[in-house]
Amino acid sequence: MKNNKLTIGQMAKMNHTTISTLRLYDKLGILKPIYVNPNSNYRYYDIRQCITFRAIQFHKNIGLSLKEVENISQTDTFSYVEELYYRRLDELSKQIEALNAQQRAIIRSLHAIRHIVDLPPVGTTSLTYFDTEYAYTKPAERDYLKEDSGSVELGISHLLEDMEKNNYSYEYAFFIGLTVRREDFLSNSARSDMLCLYVDRSYADKRHIQEQPQGLYACIYFDTFSRIGEYMDKLYQFCQEKNCTITGDVICRWMGTMNLQRFINHEEFLRLQVPVTLPEPPDINV
């Protein structure tokens, strides 16, 4: 190195890069050597150009393209640089939001696996405490209870389209359900009310999100959607036997299965649940 001059090889070594990268930067005009020997065609750089190289790498590392770096090198105002930075910040915010949604969906799926690896036999009834859940909801387009699960899948596809239009994440497509109004359930005239796609707590305050409150639920498990009316009657009988007071709408949840053959084929396994309260125990002091 003489007079602070570096050969292209020395420049590459000092900056932990390759000669081909420096040649590309030269071609783009964003880092040109200060001198090219006309006889040997050897390129020489000033050591102070290492600062320029690091600036180029910085902009690459924050996600700017080489074309954008080239444009920066040709502008004489900071307004263009600021515009690029703000645009990149907006892109990163969206990417972070999408990655966070993916992370939450995986955590939610892991949580679901713990519940479905030991699904109970068909016809099992129980009183179970559930935490608050949140669902993106849309009024049922038809009475799915009189049709089959294929009609539900069609409705869910429309629900997902609706979610996409409203800029909601798509990571929750497996967590589906539908509701039946309490009064219809009690009058034995049950019909579909809302389609639901379950999301996590971060969506709680957003539009179209309905809260399904924590509390005690009467439940029954079954494996054929076309028999939902039969199992709704059994759920009602179970509530009667336990002297439960029904306090809210019936929810039908698709639970899935972790038998891998059936999981891949999306074989149905469902749970009907309805919020209830139990009679107050007698006051033994009376």
**Mind listing the pLDDT tens digit of every residue in the chain (286 residues)?**
556 899 999 999 999 999 999 999 999 999 999 999 988 889 999 999 999 999 999 999 999 999 999 998 888 788 889 999 999 999 999 899 888 878 877 877 777 666 666 778 899 999 999 999 999 999 999 999 998 888 888 998 888 888 888 877 655 556 889 999 999 999 989 999 999 988 888 788 888 888 999 999 999 999 889 999 999 999 999 999 999 999 999 999 987 654 445 444 556 789 999 999 998 876 665 4
Is residue 247 within 8 Å of 204, Cβ to Cβ?
no
185 and 251 in contact (C-beta within 8 Å)?
A: no
Give the CA distances from residue 145 to residues 79, 208, 212, in Å, rounded to whole numbers and listed in that order. Answer: 60, 23, 21
Closest CA to 133 of 239, 256, 215: 215
Beta strands (DSSP E) in the chain are 5-7, 35-36, 43-46, 125-130, 133-139, 176-180, 192-199, 209-212, 215-222, 245-246, 250-254, 270-277
Question: What is the pairing mode between strands 192-199 and 125-130?
Answer: unpaired
Q: How far apart are CA 259 and CA 238, in angstroms?
A: 29
3 state DSSP class of 81? helix
Place of tokens 């629900």: 159
d(CA 54, CA 60): 10
CB 233 within 8 A of CB 212: no
Per-residue pLDDT at 262: 47
User: Nearest 5 degrees, angle CA 265-CA 219-CA 204?
Assistant: 80
Q: What are phi and psi of 3, to 5 degrees?
A: 55, 40
pLDDT (0 to 100) of residue 64 = 93
- Sheet with 35-36, strands from edge to edge, namely 5-7, 43-46, 35-36
Q: Which residues contact 171 (CB under 8 A, 6 or more apart)?
A: 101, 102, 104, 105
Packing angle of the helix pair 19-28, 66-74 (nearest 10 deg): 50
List Cα–Cα distances, 44 to 29, 56, 118, in angstroms: 15, 18, 70
Whether 118 contacts 259, CB under 8 Å: no
- Residue among 177, 190, 192, 185 at smallest CA distance from 251: 177
